[in-house]
Amino acid sequence: MAEMTAEEEKLSIRDISIAAEAQTKQGDTFYLITQRWWQEWLEYVNQNQANTVNDGSASEHNLLGGSSALKRPSSIDNSDLIYEATSGDSSAGIELHDTLVEGTDYILLPQEVWNQLFEWYRGGPILPRKVINSGLSQTELAVEVYPLRLQLHLMPKDERSTIRISKKETIRQLHKKACEIFSLNPELVRIWDYFSHQKHALMNDMDKTLDDANIQMDQDILVEVSNGSSAGAVNSYHENGTADNGTVALVRPSQSNISSAEGLSLSKGSSRNDTAELSQSQQLASSGTDQTFGSSGVSTRGSACGLTGLLNLGNTCFMNSAIQCLVHTPEFARYFREDYYQEINRQNPLGMVGELALAFGDLLRKLWAPGRTPVAPRPFKAKLARFAPQFSGYNQHDSQELLAFLLDGLHEDLNRVKHKPYIKSKDADGRPDEEVADEYWANHIARNDSIIVDVCQGQYKSTLVCPVCNKVSVTFDPFMYLSLPLQSATTRTMTVTIFTCDGSALPAACTVTVPKQGRCRDLIQALGNSCSLKHNEKLLLAEIRGHLIHRFLEDPLITLSSIKDDDHLAAYKIPKLTKNSKFLQLIHRREEREIGISQSNVGWKPYGTPLVSAISCDDVITRGDIQLIVHRMLSPMLRTENPGFNCVSRSKTSAAAAANASRLAASSEACIDSSLANDDPRQKDVCSSKLVNLEKLPLQLVDENNACIDLTVGEDKSVKLSSSSMSILVFADWSQKLLDNYDTRYIENLPEVTKCGPATKKARTEPLSLYSCLEAFLREEPLVPEDMWYCPTCKERRQASKKLDLWRLPEVLVIHLKRFSYSRSMKHKLETFVNFPIHDFDLTKYVANKNNSRRQLYELYALTNHYGGMGSGHYTAHIKLLDENRWYNFDDSHISPINEEDVKSAAAYVLFYRRVKTDHHHSASNKTPFLRGSSLSPM
């Protein structure tokens, strides 16, 4: 067969790809192909179409590019995706590099596309992967590039084997594979979840998937043979990880070795770029770990310690940045390098049986060890995924969400309280705040006492006031960090165009000031006051998109934050409706002709802003009635230079024409009033007769079957209205003749809700102070309706006002800047620059407890940064080594010094402040560094 041309290859692959992707389903096979070879093929097939614009389909997106390269690619070479030891023509036993990124290292091809390319080019190795259901709802399709890698432990022979298996396979399938690998009788074999070499659960639900059983990457599975001595050997340990004598089988991090599964991952490295660094790490680990942890102090003199990077395992920069900030918190560095094992709480049902604390402590010790060889945090990530499946896999996550989970998890694993007492909080009942605050804190400490509480937890004063009975409720609640909003303004200006569809006035834009966190009722009230709304009128608010009404904002509790600055809003003045009233929506359309097509091929496209009028359904509505209603709605836009827009007097004098225009408006108003009121049937006949002298507008009514009814004929015919819909849709087709008689510029362009003019843009460039963010956070505001407070006096739920105050500040204050916000189920990032102090962050005036006159000063020592957008963002950390008094940038495995003035940027996300100690406080803390409450004593 003759060899195909580059253009023929491209067209063939395009057609195959479109057909294949449209039919993708669970269980289908996709194939990995190296991005390097794929890009070479793209340049080859696009060599003559470098500037071709595609049709927007997903499959053709990758076919863009173009190059002058004329050489046809050689055979497919996927060798850079796999480890050298596993390369070959067969796919059996082939291991991918652990940190491959789709779009950077490889792309995924449907089976049909791969088959065609393989037929043309051959090569390999072939790397097939299955499509599985994923996501929280298990309805999203995803290609499982990295099936689970599990370490099987056979007891009592102590044999081991590593297997790959899909997380969607069942426990039955895993059981079968284990029996085949070790040549065992299935009837004598049981398999256990052997996480951290402890028997957590017997895996006997054969139909459950490994995903549902929470089996993670690189986890251990115990294969137990139930016969003879093997049963006794294995059963000497219980499911809870304790020996027969009741003692806990605890292995200290400093004495433990990396498990075989983890060792397999480490031996392969994290990425091709980090192979040399990782081999050094293995040599260091093989020499023993005890020598690393000999010192209990924290020393960074001479850059010997504290400058160790973390390898990126694949989108784990969110984790690396948060970990580096925590391990460089001096209190944590000292605590986890000392003997903290006595405080591990394995009985806490809210904790992770101590595993998270052990993994974190082990990782911290490696990062503080001498030398700068980057550490692969794979063991820690495995433990994290075990207890927080939301962070499993290799997707990007929120660094602050991880930090919140980690602080809470470490607290529960290290909680010194083994049996939490039940304590009922008392209301303040007029008692002094100091007394109530101390009582709340004592109750909190009675249940929560750990290094995390000692260092990171503070206390709020929360005040609720009932808007009806003025009942005041004061509580004092603990906090781990502050989440501050980035919008310091409390009000917002919004522009809405108001339409009076009774023919009394032209549309007019109205700008009002509303609460930034207000509701639609606040906007409607402000607009009503501005446009002098009558007592028998109301405003119907609508969002306009694409010249159509996207939605009516009828719910008064819709938050104004859901309305974006670049949205377009219209408010329609309508009478307060009766039960049998509907909305007539007039949708404007204009004719558009395609270039190069005959003039007869006309397409009608939406145009302008829809108009809305109320229409009564108490009586029969005719086509003529709708014509008159529309005439009345459009009458303010009738051009004065051509007022005689009727079928009788087109050549009248201008004076007569002006009189006719007045008569038009009057007759239309009279007709509409009568059609709404229906008090005098004879008046309706008068209206119909007046319609004879008016030019019939090209209107089409959309009936309940979505068919269009021509309203230019049969004006006496009644119109059947849908009983289920509150809206009546009417299309007005604006021909050029009709446009000559009406000035439609008033409905053509709606202003944006908030137009960013030069003054606004200038204001946005001004830095936002961290103090302003804190003040906005502490400002009194009403509770949202979903979180209404139950008033004990009224015995009802009330939308109380809430005021927060800082009462007790922690030794380390963590501040989260809320850069990510939600709008219409989408996540947006705020790039606002926040001017945060590095030195002398003074919180004295924000602390409500005035009994202590000592200044509350803090100094920045670490922060995480987020660069880029939501889909392709990257996290780093800026950290100050306190002993060196020097700042460093931690970017995964790469560490470099930076100047202090470069610490501030618009990327700052989570800030870590440490209290500046006075002489008195410093001497006290030296005596009792981790004494309960010593760093959080009442101020």
Using alpha carbons, select from 487, 527, 525, 502 the residue that is nearest to residue 753: 527
Exposure string of 634-645, with b = 16+ CB inside 10 Å and e = fewer, is bbbbbeeeebbb
DSSP helix/strand/coil, 519: strand
CA distances from 893 to 261, 271, 373 (A): 23, 12, 9
- Containing 761, the helix (H) or strand (E) segment is helix 758-765
Report the alpha-carbon distance of residue 56 to residue 554 in Å, rounded: 36
Sign of the dihedral defined by the CA atoms of residues 173, 175, 178, 184, in that order? negative
Token digits for 466? 């009932």
Catalytic status, residue 305:
no
Report the alpha-carbon distance of residue 929 to residue 549 in Å, rounded: 64
DSSP code per residue over 190-207: EEEE-GGGS--EE---TT
**Amino acid present at 312:** N
Residue 537, beta-bridge partner list = 575
Other Cβ atoms less than 10 A from the Cβ of 839: the count is 10
SS3 string, 432-448, reads CHHHHHHHHHHHHHHHC
At residue 485, φ and ψ (nearest 5 deg) are -75, 155
CA distances from 763 to 233, 489, 759 (A): 73, 12, 6
Token digits for 539? 């405003």
Name the E strands within 246-391: none
Report the alpha-carbon distance of residue 732 to residue 610 in Å, rounded: 10
DSSP code of residue 169: S
Using alpha carbons, select from 495, 491, 532 the residue that is nearest to residue 514: 491
Other Cβ atoms less than 10 A from the Cβ of 534: the count is 11
**Amino acid present at 343:** E
Other Cβ atoms less than 10 A from the Cβ of 799: the count is 16
Name the E strands within 102-195: 106-110, 123-124, 128-134, 140-143, 148-155, 159-165, 189-193
At residue 644, φ and ψ (nearest 5 deg) are -80, 55
Report the alpha-carbon distance of residue 808 to residue 937 in Å, rounded: 8
Token digits for 724? 């289920």
Token digits for 612? 């809305």
Using alpha carbons, select from 87, 65, 81 the residue that is nearest to residue 32: 81
Report the alpha-carbon distance of residue 800 to residue 464 in Å, rounded: 6
How crowded is the C-beta side of 72, counted as CA atoms within 13 Å? 11
Report the alpha-carbon distance of residue 152 to residue 310 in Å, rounded: 28
At residue 187, φ and ψ (nearest 5 deg) are -70, -15
Catalytic status, residue 874:
yes
The catalytic residue among 197, 828, 874, 921 is: 874
The catalytic residue among 179, 317, 466, 773 is: 317
Report the alpha-carbon distance of residue 199 to residue 217 in Å, rounded: 17
Angle in degrees, 0-180, between the axes of helices 378-387 and 260-268, rounded to the nearest 10: 130
Report the alpha-carbon distance of residue 559 to residue 553 in Å, rounded: 10
Residue 36 and residue 74 in contact, taking contact as beta carbons nearer than 8 Å:
no
DSSP helix/strand/coil, 737: helix
DSSP helix/strand/coil, 829: strand
- Residues identified as active-site: 317, 874
